[in-house]
Amino acid sequence: MNDRAAAPVEQTSNQPPLLAGYNAWEQDAILRAAVEREGGAWIDERAHRLGEMVGSERMQLLADQANRHLPQLRTHDRFGERIDAVDYHPAYHELMALAFGAGLHSAAWKARRDGAFVARAALNYLWNQAENGISCPVTMAFAAVQVMRNDAQLAAEWEPKLLADAYDPSPLHLSQKRAVTVGMAMTEKQGGSDLRANQTVATELGDGAYALEGHKWFCSAPMSDGFLTLARTGAGVTCFFTPRSLADGSRNGIHIQRLKDKCGNRSNASSEIEYHGAWARRIGADGRGIATLIEMAHLTRFDIVVASAGMMRGALNQALHHCEHRSAFGRRLVEQPLMQNVLADLALETEAATLLALRLARALDRSAHDPQERLLARILTPVAKYWLAKRNPAFMFEAMECLGGNGYVEEAPMARFYREAPVNSIWEGSGNVACLDVLRSMQKQPDSVAALLAEIRAGAARDRHLAIFVNSIEKQLAETDGLEQRARRVVEMAALALQASLMAQHAAPAAADAFFSSRVQGDWGHAFGTLPGGTRCDEIIARSRLG
């Protein structure tokens, strides 16, 4: 008989503790400095509360539950009556209540002070470090305000409850609810991003009302209280608003056909719907529906920019935390030179994304009164949306790898981040659509290019190498032959140049130098973790730690 005591099977060591109990706002010096610089520091108290929530174990549990227990469609009740209801796990409703209660959808509209878009961006950035599916209904509610204000009567009826800092999931008419949400149903299966190919038909009923017949291939958050949508009149594609419930309490003719089984964004239901005589109200000019919705698209794309940067920060937090607590080959991972290179590279990407997102927020804040900022916001929105959304999937893969097998399992948030990342490049205009939008801005508002170059030169004054890079961008833009074919490369160069400019102005010298030498001068490999020798990785990592 062996007298030696057996080691407990369940005993564990060298496993990082759960990253929880931190404040994602208070402990992020880079974010707080950027928000203050761009004019949104007055959000501090609300950001503190949200940052504490984002860093809590409770928030992580809710995010996991809402994405693990997927929405379920019930087209009919047990008596055979059509109900078109989507059932969610209670965690989804709790997350919706937290997000809408925190004013993620309303802060920019209700603040009535300078820096409102920057302040709201700070909240959105924080939220996306924890859960991303809820961001879809939040973003649609936020952006819908801009479009609904094209109809004074509609805005007067809906805006007070759309901007209420509350969440009411009951399937009732507007008059019986304390808060509402608004979704979107634009694309159709035969056209996708080409909205001019839409075939849904709107038949005029009189007094500004229409009946809609047709289908929509993607309708996100189908339990919203109303939807902005497109349909064709005799004048062409037109924008409409259609409520889910009518004034008499009956359901509108909106049938949910099925839910999409998506790669990510799984807590948020996306659906295919059909209109069967659905009552709708026209918004904007007849036949000018796409132009009407462009105002909304700029805001939804702005939200994707901020969300992408926030997701990077959330994933970086996980990677840094793991590497600070995990040892291998006799040292903590964070002390090993090769891992330091990877972490520093991820930190550079995150900081540059954060600076870009908040600079765009400032441009939106000042657009109403400053023509240069308005031009900058117009061209920078698709530039930033294209670039950050493209960077996100590769970033998430590398951050996941920092955690090794622990990052690949579903108990960790990295798997969810990884699945979530591609959607930001796909919805609200894929990469090609974003680049074509940049070209459209260049053609219709050529002064927007000058505004973008002026912003880049603000940092180029501090670095002659960046000034040389700006000259190469100008040459690319001046060569109009084949510009559409080169659009991705041109947009990428513009995004990198502006990020380098912002880093030169606002980042620590070690970070600014490393970003420029790797991203702009090309002293970089084909994967993260290939920063040039001599990079002060430990300084860069230290700036990004939750301190």
> Are residue 386 and residue 482 in the same domain, yes or no?
yes
> Are residue 342 and residue 355 in the same domain, yes or no?
yes
Query: What band does 1 get if pLDDT is binned at 50, 70 and 90?
Result: very low
Per-residue pLDDT, averaged over 395-421, amounts to: 96
Lowest mean pLDDT among 4-18, 20-34, 297-311: 4-18
> Are residue 282 and residue 313 in the same domain, yes or no?
no
Q: Please state the φ and ψ torsions of residue 257, each to the nearest 5 degrees.
A: -85, -45
> Are residue 310 and residue 340 in the same domain, yes or no?
yes
Tokens of 221: 């958050």
Answer whether residue 277 is part of any domain. Answer: yes
pLDDT at position 9 is: 64
Share of the chain above pLDDT 90, in %: 90
Query: What band does 271 get if pLDDT is binned at 50, 70 and 90?
Result: very high
Average pLDDT, the chain: 95
> Are residue 314 and residue 424 in the same domain, yes or no?
yes
pLDDT tens figures, 327-378: 999 999 999 999 999 999 999 999 999 999 999 999 999 999 999 999 999 9
Answer whether residue 68 is part of any domain. Answer: yes
pLDDT tens figures, 296-330: 899 999 999 999 999 999 999 999 999 999 999 99
> Are residue 428 and residue 370 in the same domain, yes or no?
yes
Query: What band does 294 get if pLDDT is binned at 50, 70 and 90?
Result: confident
Q: Do the Cβ atoms of 360 and 302 come closer than 8 Å?
A: yes
Per-residue pLDDT, averaged over 407-416, amounts to: 94
Q: Do the Cβ atoms of 390 and 414 come closer than 8 Å?
A: no
Distance CA 456, CA 496 (A): 10
**β-pair partners for 237:** 232
Per-residue pLDDT, averaged over 508-523, amounts to: 94
| 27 vs 465, more confident | 27
Answer whether residue 167 is part of any domain. Answer: no
Indicate whether 4 pLDDT > 70. no
**β-pair partners for 255:** 274
Going from the C-alpha of 399 to that of each of 19, 283, 316, 416, the distances in angstroms are 15, 44, 6, 12
Q: Do the Cβ atoms of 230 and 293 come closer than 8 Å?
A: yes
Distance CA 427, CA 422 (A): 9
**β-pair partners for 117:** none
Distance CA 74, CA 85 (A): 5
- Give the torsion through C-alpha atoms of 461, 463, 464, 467, to 10 deg: -60
pLDDT at position 481 is: 87
> Are residue 402 and residue 460 in the same domain, yes or no?
yes
Share of the chain above pLDDT 70, in %: 98
Pick from 426, 305, 458: nearest CA to 377: 305
Burial of 332 per CB tally in 10 Å (0-12, 13-18, 19+): middle
Distance CA 409, CA 60 (A): 15
Answer whether residue 10 is part of any domain. Answer: no
* Domain span holding position 414: 291-544
Indicate whether 502 pLDDT > 70. yes
Q: Do the Cβ atoms of 437 and 429 come closer than 8 Å?
A: yes
Answer whether residue 5 is part of any domain. Answer: no
Pick from 330, 353, 455: nearest CA to 129: 353
Percentage helix, strand, coil, to 5, in the chain?
55, 15, 30
Pick from 240, 227, 139: nearest CA to 184: 227
Answer whether residue 169 is part of any domain. Answer: no
pLDDT at position 11 is: 72
Which domain-ending residue is among 162, 194, 218? Answer: 162
Single-letter residue type at 182:
V
CATH code for position 342: 1.20.140.10
Which domain-ending residue is among 289, 310, 342? Answer: 289
Q: How many CB atoms lie within 10 A of CB 15?
A: 10
Which domain-ending residue is among 239, 269, 289? Answer: 289
> Are residue 224 and residue 333 in the same domain, yes or no?
no
Query: What band does 7 get if pLDDT is binned at 50, 70 and 90?
Result: low
Single-letter residue type at 198:
N
Measured in whole angstroms, the distance separating CA 222 from the mean position of its chain's CA atoms is 19
> Are residue 207 and residue 154 in the same domain, yes or no?
no
Burial of 492 per CB tally in 10 Å (0-12, 13-18, 19+): middle
Q: 3-state class of 82 per DSSP?
A: strand
Q: Give Dmax over CA atoms of the chain in angstroms.
A: 93
Distance CA 257, CA 406 (A): 38
Q: How many CB atoms lie within 10 A of CB 142?
A: 27
Answer whether residue 8 is part of any domain. Answer: no
> Are residue 280 and residue 313 in the same domain, yes or no?
no
| 9 vs 59, more confident | 59
Distance CA 11, CA 428 (A): 48
Q: How many CB atoms lie within 10 A of CB 112?
A: 6
Tokens of 131: 């859960």
Distance CA 125, CA 135 (A): 10
Going from the C-alpha of 414 to that of each of 29, 92, 347, 397, 419, the distances in angstroms are 23, 19, 16, 9, 9
Element (H, E) at 75: strand 72-76
CATH code for position 259: 2.40.110.20
> Are residue 277 and residue 297 in the same domain, yes or no?
no
Q: How many CB atoms lie within 10 A of CB 6?
A: 6
Answer whether residue 456 is part of any domain. Answer: yes
> Are residue 484 and residue 461 in the same domain, yes or no?
yes
Q: How many CB atoms lie within 10 A of CB 276?
A: 14
Going from the C-alpha of 81 to that of each of 74, 255, 293, 395, 493, the distances in angstroms are 11, 12, 34, 47, 56
Radius of gyration of the chain (CA): 24
Per-residue pLDDT, averaged over 1-24, amounts to: 78
Per-residue pLDDT, averaged over 126-148, amounts to: 97
Total number of domains in the chain:
3
